[in-house]
Amino acid sequence: MDITLLQKHIKNFLNYLNNEPGKLNTDQEDRNQRIAYYQSWTKDKILKMSQDDLLEYMSKLYAMLIWGNKQYFVDKLIDDNGFEELKKKLADLIWGKDPIEKRWDRAMKGIKGFGPAMQSELLCYVHPHDHMLWNRRAYVGFSYLGVSGLPKYNYQITGKKYKELSDIARTIADEMGKLGARDTSLLSVDYFIWEELQVEENLSQIFKKANEVKPVEKLSKEESGFVHNEIRDYLRDIGQWLGFNASIEKKVADGSKVDTVWESTIGNMGRVLYVYEVQTKGSVDSLILNLLKAKNNPAVQGVVAVSDKEQIEKIKKHASDVPGLKDMKFWDYEEVIQVHESLEFVNTSINKLNLVPEGF
Res 172: pLDDT: 96
Res 262: pLDDT: 93
pTM for this prediction: 0.76
Amino acid, single-letter form, for residue 195: E
Res 210: pLDDT: 44
* Co-location of 160 and 271 in the same domain: no
* Co-location of 52 and 129 in the same domain: yes
Question: What is the longest distance spanned by two Cα atoms in the chain?
Answer: 71
| The domain boundary residue, chosen from 159, 177, 204 | 204
* Co-location of 18 and 158 in the same domain: yes
Report residue 148: phi and psi, to 5°: -95, 165
Asked whether 90 and 82 are in contact (CB, 8 A), the reply is: no
Res 212: pLDDT: 53
* Co-location of 171 and 256 in the same domain: no
* Co-location of 289 and 183 in the same domain: no
Res 185: pLDDT: 94
Q: What does each C-alpha distance from 12 to 6, 18, 143, 159, 186 come to in angstroms?
A: 10, 10, 19, 33, 18
| The domain boundary residue, chosen from 150, 178, 204 | 204
250 occurs within a structural domain: yes
Q: Please list, residue by residue across 91-102, b when 16 or more beta carbons sit within 10 angstroms of its beta carbon and e when fewer do.
A: bbbbbbeeebee
Contacts of 120 (CB under 8 A, 6+ apart): 131, 132, 133, 134, 135, 162
Which domain covers residue 11, as residue numbers?
3-204
Res 209: pLDDT: 41
Res 216: pLDDT: 66
Q: Burial of 258 by CB count in 10 Å (0-12 exposed, 13-18 middle, 19+ buried)?
A: buried
* Co-location of 245 and 165 in the same domain: no
- Taking the alpha carbons of 12, 147, 186, 73 in that order, is the dihedral positive or negative? positive
Rounded-to-integer distance, Cα 315 and Cα 283, Å: 10
Domains in the chain: how many in total?
A: 2
**pLDDT < 50: residue spans in the chain:** 203-204, 206-211, 359-360
* Co-location of 99 and 173 in the same domain: yes
* Co-location of 39 and 158 in the same domain: yes
Q: Burial of 78 by CB count in 10 Å (0-12 exposed, 13-18 middle, 19+ buried)?
A: middle
Res 163: pLDDT: 97
Q: Tell me the CB-side half-sphere exposure of residue 8, using CA atoms within 13 A.
A: 7
Res 130: pLDDT: 96
